[in-house]
Amino acid sequence: MKITQQLYSSNLTLLTDLYQLTMAYGYWKSGMADKKAVFNLYFRKNPFQGGYAIACGLDYAIDFMENFEISAEDVAYLAALDGNDGKPLFESGFLAYLQAMKFDCDIDAVKEGTLVFPNEPLVRVRGGLVQCQLLETPLLNMINFQTLIATKASRVCLAAQGEPVLEFGLRRAQGIDGGLAASRAAYIGGCAATSNVLAGRLFGIPLKGTHAHSWVMSFGDEKAAFEAYAEAMPNNCVFLVDTYDTLEGVKNAIEVGKSLKARGHQLAGIRLDSGDLAYLSIEARKLLDAAGFESTEIVASNDLDEHIINSLKQQDAKVSVWGVGTKLVTAYDQPALGGVYKLAAIEDEKGEWAYRIKLSEQAIKISNPGVQQVRRFYLNGEAISDMIYDEQQIEQVQNLIIDPLDMTRRKMIPKEATFIELLEPIFRGGILQYQKKTLEQTRKYVQEQFQTLHRSITRFTNPHAYPVGLEKQLFELKTQLIMEQREKKTLS
């Protein structure tokens, strides 16, 4: 499915920041436009103070790159941009170069749904400087947000302990794009269904939803509203019972449920959307069971997140389905992942890779050099550590990893450990190599990976840090580059 092309009538290549185009122009003017480079997209800290993230958004990125082109209309727009002196910002020769340009990068990425950790490249881009630079903003836009939401959804689903989580966030999402992307990412992260009908149509996500308070308020009394809804939709009866008095609402739902049962239908559930959800769900369960509605589900909503659900679980709340909206689709407690896209190598005069590094006063912001790959090691079916290594040195890779932020933290990988390479070919020379997975396959893949992680890594409070490090040679190369740059600064 061409996701972006179903939503928009033209390509999205100008979904970028102006500074990407000004740098591209500078490369062109300097004769460097097609000079080969390697960039890595990664994040520095796990979101939500957690122990992991779920890579998401790759299918969006693939659609974008498959339709990467600068159209005549794009060129006309860019030609009309002025610089500070009132003259055209870009020369016509550069615009002609852009219009003639064909996407020909090599792209490698972790599969969508992969559990990932700080400093690991989620996407590696290799190609001409102009194209690599123009990909930065859109890739970050697509990968950052969906990775954030898929991770949040997984945390909410972990708190629900196997009970269904429904994503109800469209009305509070950050615009149309945010609503659709969030519904998709939340489903990958583990949500069972969405209320977002367009997302259901575009992505094949199951839909759930019944009625709002306005339905009840538009009738003379609550029971009449339930009766009318049951008459209209006897196969979709989950009554919202907290419009006036919650426990009285449960009793009214039971009365209408009896008439449904007499007609061969069932009261599928009731929904609690306010008040003390622990107390009300316990009391509602007593009323339902006493009336013979043991299979009727209790759905809870009302600004839920993983922490509230976890608390309700500890209070023995009798909720069987969780409706989560605002705090899921907006990633309420951390609204951005903070992923970055850094140059790691550039082609020198001999056609060989010259490694690059960004320095900072903050160690966490010092980038890692090299044509990076990530190797995940397993022992007895459990993921035990990830190694970031340089593909150019693959023959000399050693099974020793070093924490990039603390050289004293080292781990030797057991010889008997097996491994997989996480970055897979997506494009070669601009030609798609990757076979996209269905959302169901991706969702299943996420759950399978959780089975390989120690539970201490997925806990909400003070999670164990999954071991990720630079392979010994790459760590030494990084240290050497840092020292060289520091020395240059000292001499200057």
Region of residue 213 (left: phi > 0; alpha: psi -120 to 50; beta: else):
alpha
pLDDT tens column, 401-425? 999 988 889 999 999 999 999 999 9
Query: From CA 153, how far away is CA 304, in angstroms rounded?
Result: 12
pLDDT tens column, 15-31? 999 999 999 999 999 99
| Token reading at 333 | 């407690």
Average confidence (pLDDT) over 288-299: 98
The superfamily (CATH) of domain 3-150+335-491 is: nicotinate phosphoribosyltransferase (3.20.140.10)
Average confidence (pLDDT) over 478-482: 94
| Token reading at 183 | 């519904």
Name the amino acid, one letter, at 6: Q
Name the amino acid, one letter, at 151: T
Which residues are registered as beta bridge partners of 194?
A: 167, 207
Let me know: does 340 contact 41? Beta carbons within 8 Å.
yes
Query: From CA 212, how far away is CA 300, in angstroms rounded?
Result: 13
Q: Which residue in 204, 176, 115 sits closest to 448, CA to CA?
A: 115
Q: Which residue in 233, 305, 315, 301 sits closest to 273, CA to CA?
A: 301
pLDDT grade, residue 9 (50/70/90)?
low
Query: From CA 27, how far away is CA 382, in angstroms rounded?
Result: 46
Q: Which residue in 492, 485, 491 sits closest to 361, CA to CA?
A: 485
pLDDT tens column, 45-62? 999 999 999 999 999 999
Those residues whose C-beta lies under 8 Å from the C-beta of residue 70, and which sit 6 or more positions away, are 13, 14, 78, 95, 98, 99, 101
| Token reading at 146 | 């969906």
Query: From CA 40, how far away is CA 391, in angstroms rounded?
Result: 13
Full DSSP string of 137-193: HHHHHHHHHHHHHHHHHHHHHHHHTTS-EEE--GGGSSHHHHHHHHHHHHHHHT--E
Average confidence (pLDDT) over 221-237: 97
Let me know: does 212 contact 195? Beta carbons within 8 Å.
no
CATH of the domain spanning 209-321, picked from 3.40.50.720, 3.40.50.970, 3.20.20.70, 3.30.70.260? 3.20.20.70
Q: Which residue in 342, 354, 282 sits closest to 318, CA to CA?
A: 282
Average confidence (pLDDT) over 96-110: 97
Residue 237 or residue 396, greater confidence: 237
Let me know: does 414 contact 379? Beta carbons within 8 Å.
yes
Let me know: does 371 contact 391? Beta carbons within 8 Å.
yes
Residue 197 CB neighbour total at 10 angstroms: 13
pLDDT grade, residue 199 (50/70/90)?
very high
Query: From CA 17, how far away is CA 267, in angstroms rounded?
Result: 52
Q: HSE-up of 102 (CA within 13 Å, CB side)? A: 5
pLDDT of residue 8: 64
Let me know: does 397 contact 439? Beta carbons within 8 Å.
no
Q: What is the mean pLDDT of the chain?
A: 95
Q: What's the maximum distance between 2 C-alpha atoms anywhere in the chain?
A: 89
pLDDT grade, residue 72 (50/70/90)?
very high
Name the amino acid, one letter, at 345: A
First to last CA, the chain: 55
Query: From CA 269, how far away is CA 257, in angstroms rounded?
Result: 9
The phi and psi torsions of 392 (rounded to 5 degrees) equal -70, -20
Those residues whose C-beta lies under 8 Å from the C-beta of residue 383, and which sit 6 or more positions away, are 115, 376, 377, 449, 452, 453, 466
Query: From CA 388, how far away is CA 475, in angstroms rounded?
Result: 9
Query: From CA 387, how far away is CA 262, in angstroms rounded?
Result: 63
pLDDT grade, residue 488 (50/70/90)?
confident
pLDDT grade, residue 10 (50/70/90)?
low
DSSP single-letter state for residue 442 = H
Average confidence (pLDDT) over 348-368: 92
Query: From CA 14, how far away is CA 4, in angstroms rounded?
Result: 14
| Token reading at 304 | 């839920």
pLDDT of residue 423: 98
pLDDT tens column, 374-403? 999 999 999 999 999 999 988 888 899 999
Full DSSP string of 192-233: -EES-HHHHHHH---B-----HHHHHTSSSHHHHHHHHHHH-
Cα 187 to chain centroid, rounded: 11
| Token reading at 71 | 């159209």
| Sign of the CA dihedral running 360, 362, 363, 369 | negative
Residue 43 or residue 486, greater confidence: 43
The domain locations on the chain are: 3-150+335-491, 209-321
Let me know: does 105 contact 126? Beta carbons within 8 Å.
yes
Average confidence (pLDDT) over 152-176: 97
Of 7-11, 19-23, 474-478, where does mean pLDDT reach its minimum?
7-11
Helix (H) or strand (E) holding 375: strand 372-379
